[in-house]
Amino acid sequence: MNLQLKIGIVGTVVLLLLILIGPKLAPYTMDDYSHFKKVTTESGETKTLLPPFPASDENVIGTDTTGRDMLSILLRGARVTILFAVGVAVVRLLLALPLAYFGAVYPRTVGWFVDKISVASTTIPMVLTVFLLVSIYNFSYAFTNTQSLVLTGAIVVLVGLFQTTSLLQQKMESILQYPFMDGLRSIGAGKWTILRKHVIPHLTVHLGVLLVSEIAQTLWLATQLGVLYVFLGGTYYDPDGPSMRIPEEWAGKIGTMFRAFRAHPMAVLYPAMALSLAILTFNMLADGLRKHNEQKWGITGK
Distances (CA, A) of 116 to 20, 180, 265, 276: 41, 30, 44, 33
Amino acid 9: pLDDT: 94
Chunked mean pLDDT (size 10), the chain, 302 residues: 91 94 88 76 74 84 85 91 95 93 87 91 90 84 84 94 92 77 69 73 84 95 90 73 70 82 82 94 93 69 46
Amino acid 185: pLDDT: 67
Omega into 52 within 30° of 0, i.e. cis? Answer: yes
- Compute the distance between CA of residue 172 and CA of residue 103 in angstroms, rounded to an integer: 9
| Calculated CA dihedral for residues 131, 132, 134, 140, nearest 10 degrees | 120
How much is the pTM?
Answer: 0.85
Amino acid 284: pLDDT: 95
Amino acid 113: pLDDT: 92
The second-level CATH assignment, the architecture, of 3-297 is: Orthogonal Bundle (1.10)
Give the contacts of 100 (CB within 8 A, at least 6 positions apart): 114, 165, 166, 167, 168, 169, 171, 172
Are 167 and 264 in contact, with CB atoms under 8 Å apart? no
Relative orientation angle of helices 70-105 and 3-25, to the nearest 10 degrees: 130
Residues paired with 39 in a beta bridge: 47
Amino acid 302: pLDDT: 46
Picking from 17, 33, 14, 16, the residue whose alpha carbon sits closest to that of residue 73 is: 33
Amino acid 301: pLDDT: 46
